[in-house]
Each structure stands twice: as C-alpha cells, then as structure tokens.
Amino acid sequence: MERQRMSFEEYAPDRKVLGVLLVVGLILASGMLLVLQPKVLAVLSGKGGTKSTEVDVLIPDGIASNPRLNFVKSSITVKVNLNNTIVWSDNDTSGQAHTVTTRSAPSASASFDSGPLNLGDTFSVTPTAPGTYLYHCIFHGWMQGTITVLAP
C-alpha cells in the first residue's frame, strides 16, 4: 500500500476559517480584559488649570453587600499635591452607613474619621502632612484605600 503525499496547499487550512477563528479569539480576549479589569473607584476632577485641587472618591451603590466593589489599596491609590482636598461621596442606596477612617497616617494629628456617612452625605479632608494615608470603612472591612500626599 502506497501512501499518498499531500502538497502544502492541500494540507493548509482555509484562509477563511483562520480569519474567522482569529476574529472570534480577539472578541473573546477583549471580553476577558473587560471582566478582569480592576474597578477604579477614584475620579480625579480638576477645578481649573492643569493641577487638580479636588479629588472626588465614590462610595458606589451596592458596596455594602458586594465585596467585589471594595476599595482595595491597589485600585484606589490617590496622589495629590500638598493642601489639595479629597471629597468622598456616599452613593450606596443599601441604607447601610459607611465611614472614611484612617488606619495609619504620617502623624497622629493627620488622622481623620468621617463618622457614619449615609446616602448623599459627603466628607472631605485637606491633608497638611506629606506621606501615605491608609483608610477604610469601619463597618465594611473590605473597603480600603490609600492616599499618597506629595510634598510641594
């Protein structure tokens, strides 16, 4: 029994099939990037000029019962220049209160605590000491963030 040899052209897959597979692969890969992308919960908003003087941080709706929405150190690091203001806004309709409370600060006098925040409440801080501030919600331990204040 003699074996027949196929030429490369006969063996090569159809270009249309390869094209369709490539398009499907790209669609799946881009969908995975959207799913795996971290939730960044800080929104920088400049109030004139090129430097931001106010940073708005959102406490999103549903965070009280959804730890996937948490403020994690790696996704909510906010860097501002000395004497800029940071404003937290509570948009959570769950009816549960939240806090913005320092876990550590460059000095004891630089610590802050919002007290309970409810839907629509805001809390602001204007850091006066350069350094790293770690903060969290005392009611929901997964809500954590970092502020880095740079010296002028």
Residue boundaries of the structural domains of the chain: 42-150
Instruction: Measure the CA–CA gap between 148 and 150, rounded to whole angstroms.
Output: 6
In this prediction, residues 109-113 reach a mean pLDDT of 93
Architecture of the domain made up of 42-150? Sandwich (2.60)
Least confident segment among 36-50, 86-100, 125-139:
36-50
**8 Å CB contact between 125 and 64:** no
Strand order in the sheet with 54-59: 42-45, 54-59, 85-90, 122-125
Write out pLDDT tens, residues 32-89: 544 443 333 333 333 434 455 677 888 888 888 988 886 533 445 566 676 678 889 9
Please name the residues in contact with 110: beta carbons below 8 A apart, sequence gap of 6 or more.
Answer: 102, 127, 128, 129, 131, 133
**pLDDT higher for 117 or 77?**
117
**pLDDT higher for 125 or 17?**
125
Instruction: Measure the CA–CA gap between 88 and 116, rounded to whole angstroms.
Output: 12
Element holding 81 (H helix, E strand) = strand 77-81
User: CA-CA distances (angstroms) from residue 29 to 15, 26, 35, 68?
Assistant: 21, 5, 10, 22
**pLDDT higher for 16 or 105?**
105
The CB-side HSE value for 31 (13 A sphere, CA atoms) comes to: 6
